């Protein structure tokens, strides 16, 4: 694989977009727009800017997302749509990637190349087979978000973000991971509800994006 700017090989990013988005109730969630652009497009652009190859993971539940990928010449892998973890493991297998790769949700519109580069650098420095990304609960609370899962990371009460690195050959197994705690307000926005969508729109307006 060709080297990326950081001196490592070019990585793959599996962007999970095979769920129905039942809580949001606005059709296929990956195509819901934030500040005039589909969330999926924002995530794809962030990975591409970080020189990571984006591949969208679709299912029978997301035919419009699949067609969106076809129309825009975006690589995709179609899975059974059994669930986030199940689809991720299936997509890793179908990708044929045995080494490290990113996994991310399609509904984190504030993902940036800088965040991706920070996580990638921390992963390679750690020497561990996997890496998870976290933000302090206090950041979520500032925006009225109430995360369902909490854990103490580096002495801070934190919640996981939908951005990880894993080793493909170990997919489906418990992998020793480096936990990366980031003070990135944008990562608080994992858009699953109308309220979270409204909050994300408001933040984009405040940033002038």
Q: Mean pLDDT across the chain, nearest whole number? A: 89
Which pLDDT tens digit goes with each residue over 63-85? 999 999 999 999 999 999 998 88
Q: Can you give the pTM of this predicted structure?
A: 0.90
Q: Percentage of residues in the chain with pLDDT exceeding 70? A: 91
* 3-state secondary structure labels for all residues of 90-129: HHHHHHCCCCEEEEEECCCCCCCHHHHHHHHHHHHHHCCC
Instruction: Give the integer Cα–Cα distance in Å for 166 and 104.
Output: 11
- Please report the pLDDT score of residue 47 as a whole number: 97
pLDDT of residue 195: 82
């Amino acid at each position: 694989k060709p080297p990326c700017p950081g001196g490592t090989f070019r990585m793959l990013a599996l962007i999970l977009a095979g769920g129905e988005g039942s809580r949001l109730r606005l059709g296929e969630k990956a195509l819901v727009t934030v500040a005039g652009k589909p969330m999926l497009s924002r995530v794809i652009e962030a990975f591409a800017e970080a020189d990571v190859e984006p591949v969208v993971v679709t299912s029978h539940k997301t035919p419009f997302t699949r067609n969106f990928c076809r129309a825009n010449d975006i690589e995709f892998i179609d899975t059974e749509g059994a669930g986030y973890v199940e689809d991720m493991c299936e997509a890793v297998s179908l990708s044929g990637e045995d080494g490290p790769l990113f996994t991310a949700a399609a509904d984190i519109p504030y993902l940036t190349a800088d965040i991706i580069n920070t996580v990638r650098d921390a992963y390679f420095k750690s020497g561990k087979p996997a890496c998870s990304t976290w933000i302090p609960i206090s950041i979520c609370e500032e925006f009225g978000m109430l995360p369902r899962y909490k854990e103490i990371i580096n002495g801070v009460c934190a919640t996981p973000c939908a951005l990880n690195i894993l080793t493909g050959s170990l997919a489906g197994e418990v992998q020793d991971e480096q936990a990366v705690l980031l003070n990135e307000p944008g990562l608080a926005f994992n858009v699953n509800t109308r309220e979270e969508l409204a909050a994300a729109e408001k933040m984009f307006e405040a940033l002038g994006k």
